[in-house]
Amino acid sequence: MGPGAPAATRVVVLAGGLSHERDVSLRSGRRVAEALRESGAEVEVRDMDADLLRVLRDDRPDCVVPLLHGETGEDGAVREVLELVGLPYVGSRPSACRAAFDKPVAKAVVQRAGIHTPVGVTLPHETFRELGAAAVMEAIIASVGLPLFVKPARGGSALGCTAVREASALASAMVGAFAYGDTALVERFVEGIEVAVPVVDTGAGARALPVVSIEPDGGVYDYTARYTAGSTRFEVPAKLPDVLAAECARVAVLAHDTLGLRDLSRSDLIIDADGTVWFLEVNVAPGLTETSTVPLSVGAAGLDLGDLVADLVRAAMVRSTQPASPTTGADPS
Look at residue 164 and tell me if it is in a domain. yes
Annotated active-site residue in 187, 201, 222, 268: 268
Tens digit of each residue's pLDDT (9 = 90 or more) over 253-287: 999 999 999 999 999 999 999 999 999 999 999 99
pTM over 0.85: yes
Residues 198, 286 within the same domain: yes
Tens digit of each residue's pLDDT (9 = 90 or more) over 181-197: 899 999 999 999 999 99
212-216/193-200 β-pairing: antiparallel
pLDDT score recorded for residue 32: 96
Look at residue 329 and tell me if it is in a domain. no
10 an active-site residue?
A: no
Q: Which residues contact 162 (CB under 8 A, 6 or more apart)?
A: 149, 150, 151, 169, 172, 173, 176, 177
Annotated active-site residue in 91, 227, 262, 306: 227
Residues 222, 306 within the same domain: yes
Residues 133, 39 within the same domain: no
Cis before 66 (ω within 30): no
Q: Tell me the mean pLDDT in the region 109-132.
A: 94
Q: Which residues contact 99 (CB under 8 A, 6 or more apart)?
A: 105, 106, 109, 259, 260, 329, 330, 332
Tens digit of each residue's pLDDT (9 = 90 or more) over 22-48: 898 999 999 999 999 999 999 999 998
- The CATH number of residue 270's host domain is 3.30.470.20
Residues 308, 201 within the same domain: yes
120 an active-site residue?
A: no
Q: Which domain holds residue 198?
A: 191-320
End position of a domain, from candidates 188, 211, 228: 188
281 an active-site residue?
A: yes
283 an active-site residue?
A: yes
Residues 204, 263 within the same domain: yes
Confidence of residue 67 (pLDDT cuts 50, 70, 90): very high
Q: How many residues does the chain have?
A: 333
> For the chain, what is the domain count?
3
Look at residue 98 and tell me if it is in a domain. no
Residues 245, 172 within the same domain: no
- The CATH number of residue 17's host domain is 3.40.50.20
Annotated active-site residue in 16, 76, 260, 287: 287
287 an active-site residue?
A: yes
Annotated active-site residue in 19, 25, 283, 297: 283
- The CATH number of residue 165's host domain is 3.30.1490.20
Annotated active-site residue in 16, 19, 21, 95: 21
Q: Which of 149-158, 217-226, 251-260 has the highest mean pLDDT?
A: 251-260
CA distance 21 to 68: 8
42-46/10-14 β-pairing: parallel
Beta strands in the chain (DSSP E): 10-14, 42-46, 63-66, 120-124, 148-152, 162-164, 183-188, 193-200, 207-208, 212-216, 232-235, 264-271, 277-283
> In this structure, which amino acid lies at residue 23?
D
Annotated active-site residue in 98, 226, 262, 266: 266
Look at residue 22 and tell me if it is in a domain. yes
51 an active-site residue?
A: no
pLDDT score recorded for residue 330: 54
pLDDT score recorded for residue 100: 96
